[in-house]
Structure 1
Amino acid sequence: MFHIEDKEFIRGKVPMTKQEVRCISIAKLDLKEDSILIDVGAGSGSVGIEVTNFTPKGKVFGIEVNPDGIEVIKQNLEKFSVTNYELIEGLAPSDIPQIEVDRMFIGGSKGNLDTILEWFLCHSKEEAKVVINTITLESLGEAMKGLEKLKFCEIEVININIARNKKIGRYNMMMGENPIYIISAKRSK
């Protein structure tokens, strides 16, 4: 099992969850080797593809509606020779097949967060876990309201701020990335 560095992914102009955020998000998913994950708003596929390294007996279903994202995911699946990942070209939750999952990662919801969480409740095993990444306070508030309304438990929010050094002459200057909220929760019994 290993993590993949950002520079290894084909990205194009598609959003990608940065490696430090990916590491924490994947840790919060509390994966098992046979976990079945749905990656909603898969973007470049970085989260789902990295998850396949931790779920050799499981499977990842990545759903993406953006044609550019779909193409980048296909390229990354080929580059990393991933075999336990199925790409769904469409919009969540309407285009997700009738599958049972025990983990869900939401990197983008296209305004459908409540119905995506409802889908998860109908198609997940007991004590299944969900992780949601957001960058806006509005999305954070929406996620919290949705999780509480649907009676998720063990809801936790963390905020991370990443800064990377950038060489300016002979000095290093820290350049901040967008702060990210990582929300994790467990399905109630």
Structure 2
Amino acid sequence: MRSENPAVVTVVGIGAGGWPGLSGTGREALARAEVIFGGARQLDLLPGDVTARRRPWPAPLLPALPGLLESEAGHRVAVLASGDPMFHGIGATLARVAGPDRIRVIPHPSSVSLAAARLGWDLARTDVVSLVTAPVATLGRAINPGRRILVLARGADTPAEVATLLAARGYPETQITVLEQLGGAGERIVTGTAGDWAMPAGDPLNVIAVECGEGPAIPLVAGLPDEAYETDGQLTKREVRAVTLAALAPVPGALLWDVGAGSGSIGVEWMRAHPACRAIAIESSAERVATITANAARLGVPGLRVVHGRAPGALDGLPEPDTIFIGGGLTRDGVLDRCLTALRPGGRLVANAVTVESEAVVAGAYAKLGGELTRLTVQRGSPVGGFTGWRSFMPVTIWTVSR
């Protein structure tokens, strides 16, 4: 139903096919508008008989958005968006900034839907990764043998960056298909393999289809092999890591503080649990900060934030966490108290102790606050001459408490 309320912004999705590809509802909304916001590329698709004032988005957009909408209060405002505005688009941003009751969305098929239609891929069984604003390393989390991935590109150079990443991750035979200007007169599809990708940069409006072949598998469950990480030895062993992640219990959208992060394995695997999981690694060693950053990029979670500093001071000003892991610094004055204070109501704290002194801190906290204590001893088989014996690692005490 057409909205007559000028306070409601109509968001119209448009494809590379431009005006002819719009539905009658979309055309009517744009024809009735007094002001149309959009990117320069989308605004150029409007015919001359659409008389609304055209206002290109400024850069950066997000800080200016509330003021832009306010400046056109009382006018019939439309927004022209690429494809489906609610799929990695401006529609979702407007709903968040202005409120869902202030927008009306008329979607167009997304570039991902069009790509799946061209390829004959089952979209429900295909991973989708957006590199529009994310580093190419983000793709690493989705790479595994036999997986199909559709990648939203940032620009014309993204296909070559994706090919380079795939080859570096051990997938040189992966087939890459670049689909440009889907639905438009300039639609073009090119195919090659990652290891010998030599296609020149094409149209910046493209989707990249990745069909992974054989290559190294990286499990999605907690407890990646220790060899997956660069480390100076400050690494939570995989068996302990798996138990610790189970205690931390990551859920989509939750924020973790990884205090005394070492090589960053806990924060990395927390973020690998779900694309919406967020983590901040706090580490006092500059060398380990660089190691954490490298590990996060290699394992597909370059969004892991790393704070160089020593707790508790380095925790000041950080966003409120849902969950905290203390892997180092338990015996330092104020660290445990500061973490408990920072934790939101209902949040969870997990602390690992490996020394007598840190165990004493955990025992005292357990006596005062309760929670759960787990003592974990790991033994691995190793050669003893021509036989096999057990090699023990230092036992770890894990304290879990909810606020």
TM-score with structure 2 setting the length: 0.43
**Cα distance per residue 1:124-181 (max 9 Å; x no partner):** 22111111111123211212324555xx44x111111111111234311111111111
The residue number in structure 1 matching 2:372 is: 156
The residue number in structure 2 matching 1:82 is: 301
SS state at 2:362 partner = helix
Note the C-alpha offset of 1:16. 0.5
The residue number in structure 2 matching 1:31 is: 250
**Cα distance per residue 1:16-74 (max 9 Å; x no partner):** 10000000011011221121100000000011111111142121000000122112112
- The answer to whether 1:106 aligns with 2:326 is yes
Structure 2 distance, partners of 1:142, 1:110, is 7
Equivalent of 1:22, from 233, 238, 241?
241
- The answer to whether 1:116 aligns with 2:116 is no
Check conservation: 2:259, 2:328, Cα contact below 8 A.
Answer: yes
Structure 2 distance, partners of 1:122, 1:177, is 33
Check conservation: 1:14, 1:68, Cα contact below 8 A.
Answer: no
Partner amino acid, structure 2, of 1:156? E
The residue number in structure 2 matching 1:63 is: 282
Segments of 5+ residues of structure 2 without an aligned counterpart are 1-219
Segments of 4+ moved more than 4 angstroms? none
Q: Which moved more, 1:80-89 or 1:174-183?
A: 80-89
CA RMSD of aligned residues (A): 1.8
Q: Which has the higher contact order (CA 8 A, sep 6+)?
A: 1
Note the C-alpha offset of 1:88. 0.2
Partner amino acid, structure 2, of 1:20? E
Structure 1 distance, partners of 2:396, 2:342, is 27
Indicate the structure with greater strand content. 1
Note the C-alpha offset of 1:110. 6.2
Report the identity percentage: 27
Structure 2 distance, partners of 1:41, 1:176, is 24
Distance 1:55 1:123, change over 3 A: farther
TM-score with structure 1 setting the length: 0.88
Equivalent of 2:384, from 168, 176, 181?
168
The residue number in structure 1 matching 2:310 is: 91
Check conservation: 2:250, 2:273, Cα contact below 8 A.
Answer: yes
The alignment of Structure 1 onto Structure 2 pairs a total of residues equal to: 182
